[in-house]
Amino acid sequence: MPTPTDYLKKGALRVIEPAISLLARNNVSPNAITTVGTLLTVAAGVVYATGHIMTAGWIMAGTAFFDVVDGEVARRTGRCTVFGAFYDSTLDRVGDGALMAGFTVFYATNPLHHNPYMMAVSLAGMIGTFLVSYTRARAESLGIDAKVGVMQRPERIVLLSAPQALFGLFWNGWVLIAIIILLTVTAWITAVQRIAFVRRNTRHADNKPIRIVSDPALPIPSTTPSTTSGMPASRRAQS
């Protein structure tokens, strides 16, 4: 069932269609687009740390363009690669960490809005955000699509950009506090939902023994030489 974010993304794609077509016609590297978007996200994190919340919100709104465009350009130019997907996911984690680190520094150093409790909440939000991505990636490595939870990446991007761009430190910063708490709580809820989802889908598989790669290999008679390589048999079994 489509979510409001899906409709928002479709509308955004129609608006930026000319830019996507231009980039695709000029064969711009999707990885380069991803890199620029990540650099802007890191810049937004730095601006958050300095206390210019509204400015950082507008920068984050701009990064949403790159977050959408890189995948579209990759598809249209036939450059959807395994490394591209890995690179995009890795840099997403860099951006997520930079944003929450920016909030942490803001609450640690700002003389007017210094708040040790919000420092702790921001750090918890950073860990929760990493868990959201890790649980899905680890599940996919096990053959399980764990794209479940109340807070996906598009929703996080919207919450980290629109409210800050429009309100900044409105109501003495309480709007920002509410957004960070919401992001932190929903990130941990999403991580727990994905853990529970994987648990349900692996309940029967857990009854089967799994191979531990660090177990010693079965002994091989010394009279049988190794013909496949110069490595010992036990080393080949672990490679």
Q: What are phi and psi of 8, to 5 degrees?
A: -65, -40
Q: Tell me how far CA of residue 9 lies from CA of 32, 40, 69, 205, in angstroms.
A: 21, 20, 11, 37
Q: Report which DSSP code applies to 77.
A: T
Alpha-carbon distance of 144 to 195, in angstroms, equals 11
Q: Are the CB atoms for 51 and 176 separated by under 8 Å?
A: no
Encoded tokens for 142: 């096990």
Q: Which of 61, 74, 58 is nearest to 8 (CA)?
A: 61
Q: What are phi and psi of 226, to 5 degrees?
A: -80, 125
State the Cα angle at 36 between 138 and 2, rounded to 5°. Answer: 55
Active site residues: 92
Other beta carbons within 10 angstroms of residue 21's beta carbon come to 13
**Residues sharing a CB contact under 8 Å with residue 62, sequence separation 6 or more, in sequence order:** 40
Helix H or strand E encompassing 64: helix 53-76
